[in-house]
Amino acid sequence: MIESSLKEKKTNTTEDVNFPIFNAMQAKDHEQVVVCSDPETGLRAFIAIHNTTLGPALGGTRMWMYKTEEEALKDVLRLSRGMTYKSAISGLNLGGGKAVIIGDPHTDKNEALFRAFGRFVDGLGGRYITAEDVGMEVQDMEWIYSETKYVTGIPETLGGSGNPSPVTAYGVYMGAKACAKKAYGNDSLSGKRIALQGAGHVASYFAKHAAKEGAKLFITDIYTEKAQSLADEIGAEVVSPDEIYGLDVDIFTPCALGGVINDDTIDQFKCDIIAGGANNVLDVEERHGQMLLEKGIIYAPDYVINAGGIINISSELEGYNREHAMNRTQKIYDTTLNILQYSEDHEIPTYKASNILAEERIASVGRLKSKYSSKSHFSGRLGEMYMTDRR
């Protein structure tokens, strides 16, 4: 297990109250948090590295108008931990990291800001590799790439994979179909009623997959014009943000921000399945994951079915191949079914089943790291051209 026993060992002392950042990091075994500040460009950002047992921490940069730095820190810690589990359950040799930039993605973007952020990423020397996330575009990643090679999701013209959203959405679609297979005995979404929260990139591509198969979609977004545009394109119905939780549907698909399954919303759900592309949708993982199990709602762990994005961008590190990325993403279907079966066999929530399987892989590979593997280089020696560093 990668979860430490620090919480059991800690005592309630006055000293703990004075170290909220360290407390938050140690609660979930984070390795590092970097605070990035550049007054000239207005950059205010956090980079969080959760675990690097399997490899360098890869995870996207999110730009959002957080109300407080505490809110931003909480988000980056939750997101980076999720990336550790996402890479592990997907069979990738990568650790978990994430970054958040505090700012309005509609008004605060400029080249200098992203290049300043790129310098901070570069300073980590490859411990953290960034990518595109909520509030970011391919152009933003290109500006970051101007200052560091430790970035993925760059334009195809530069040798990257471009926008990862189509692949992420395909993985969500595969995960939803796996849940349908478990719930209904077949994986067809034809005729299924789906409540889609969000009308951004991932939500839009998912909606097109589902609509093409014959699903009936109800869409909401905090930007009504985005929801209406998508609804018009695929023949869906727009509902208000508050209405989305209580709809009588088969599947609820959260594709916006996290924490939407919480004490205020959980009793409103009338669906059989919750499967979406948003990260950390369980506000309190242990509490709300158990409540979904007791309500008989099948929950696809978010970091499992939205892993198509990291599968896609991680392939850039090996030389990007779209067909290979899509084939690997399709396997999310089988991974989801395995987790649902493990959950049923052990009578535990699906989030816990997924965490256990991910932690087992991290622990297994971690034991190998105790064995010495030389990193020496011999300049000019025969065979040097194919020698590589091995962790």
Catalytic residues: 98
Query: By the 8 A CB rule, do 211 and 236 touch?
Result: yes
C-beta neighbour count of 185 within 10 angstroms: 8
- Closest CA relative to residue 117, chosen from 92, 99, 98, 96: 99
Give the contacts of 167 (CB within 8 A, at least 6 positions apart).
161, 308, 309, 311, 312, 325, 326, 329
Is the dihedral angle over the CA atoms 9, 13, 17, 19 positive or is it negative? negative
The residue with tokens 């009338």 is 270
Q: Where are the alpha helices (DSSP H) in the chain?
A: 6-9, 14-17, 20-27, 69-89, 111-123, 138-145, 165-184, 201-212, 224-234, 285-295, 302-305, 308-314, 322-330, 332-346, 350-368
Alpha carbons 228 and 178: distance in angstroms, whole number: 28
Q: Report how far Cα 87 is from the mean position of its chain's Cα atoms.
A: 9
Within 8 A by CB and 6+ apart from 26, the residues are 4, 6, 10
Say if CB 247 and CB 274 are below 8 A apart: no
Token pair of 286, please? 């242990």
Using CA atoms of 23, 28, 34, 35 in order, give the dihedral in degrees to the nearest 10.
Answer: -50
CA-nearest of 144, 129, 138, 130 to 162 is 138
Contact assessment for residue 183 and residue 160, using Cβ atoms and an 8 Å cutoff: no
